[in-house]
Amino acid sequence: MPVQSVDVRDGDPTIQVTGEHRGTVTVTFTDGRVRDVSVRAPDADAWADKIANISAKAQSDQEDQDAAEAVEQDIEILNPHKEAGLPKMALAYLRRAQAEEDPYQAYLKFSRFNDYRVNQGWNLNQVQTQLASVGLTAEEWQDMRDRYQYLSNAGRVTAMEAYQSVVAGDTWVQ
C-alpha cells in the first residue's frame, strides 16, 4: 500500500540555536498503518528537501520492515507481503540466512530463497544483477554465495536433512 498522507506535526520544525531544524512527520499508508518519522536537517532548505523526499523514504523503510516480517513468519516468496515486493523479500531471506548462526536455520532460509531464484529462472551468476535494485551489492552477494554453496553441497544437504530429523519440536531427541 502506498503512502496516503504526510503530515508535519503542528509547531514543527523547531529551530535549534545552531540553526538545525528538527521535527516529526506522520506518514499514513493507504492500509491504515501509521509511521512517525523524526526529521533533522541543518537548515530550512535541507528540511524542505527531506520533507519532499520523506514519502519515498518511509515507503522504502516500510518495505524493508515488511520483508523482514515475511522472513520471520517464513512466508514463501510467491506473493508480495504488505509493502514488501518479491525482490525485497528475497533479499531479506538472503540477509537473514547470512546472519544466521545455526547452520540448519541458515540452510532453510537459503533454501527458501533458492526456490524463488529457480522460479525466476536465474542462475547464481544473475542474482546480484537482479537484486541490485533493492540493495544487494556484489561483495555482499559473493559472501552469501560462498556460504550458500558451502551449505548446499550434497554432503551438507544430507547432514542438514539428518539434523532436521532429530529435532522434535523445541527439544532434541538423542
26 inside domain: yes
Going by the DSSP 8-state scheme, the letter that residue 79 receives in this structure is S
Kindly state whether residues 102 and 43 are assigned to the same domain: no
Nearest to 31 by CA among 73, 63, 54, 69: 63
91 inside domain: yes
Cell numbers at 154, concatenated = 550434497
pLDDT of residue 125: 87
Q: Rounded to the nearest 5 degrees, what angle is found at the Cα of 151, between the Cα atoms of 123 and 98?
A: 85
Kindly state whether residues 27 and 96 are assigned to the same domain: no
146 inside domain: yes
pTM, whole model, 2 decimals?
0.76
Confidence band of 170 (pLDDT split at 50, 70, 90): very low
Per-chain mean pLDDT for the chain: 87
Task: Measure Cα distances from 52 to 5, 6, 23, 24, 47 in Å.
Answer: 12, 9, 14, 14, 9
Instruction: Give the C-alpha separation, 85 to 80, whole Å.
Output: 5
68 inside domain: no
What are the tens digits of pLDDT across the range 14-50? 999 999 999 999 999 999 999 999 999 999 999 999 9
70 inside domain: no
Start-end of H helices in 28-85 = 44-72
Quick one: CA torsion of 72, 57, 95, 70, rounded to 10 degrees?
Answer: 20
pLDDT of residue 172: 38
Q: What is the H or E stretch that residue 139 is in?
A: helix 138-152
Confidence band of 161 (pLDDT split at 50, 70, 90): low
Kindly state whether residues 157 and 103 are assigned to the same domain: yes
Count of domains forming the chain: 2
Kindly state whether residues 21 and 93 are assigned to the same domain: no
Going by the DSSP 8-state scheme, the letter that residue 13 receives in this structure is P
What are the tens digits of pLDDT across the range 93-123? 999 999 988 877 888 898 899 889 999 999 8
Kindly state whether residues 93 and 32 are assigned to the same domain: no
Supply the range of the domain harboring residue 109: 85-172
Instruction: Give the C-alpha separation, 54 to 8, whole Å.
Output: 11
Kindly state whether residues 163 and 96 are assigned to the same domain: yes
Kindly state whether residues 52 and 92 are assigned to the same domain: no
49 inside domain: yes
71 inside domain: no
- Those residues whose C-beta lies under 8 Å from the C-beta of residue 109, and which sit 6 or more positions away, are 71, 93, 94, 96, 97, 100
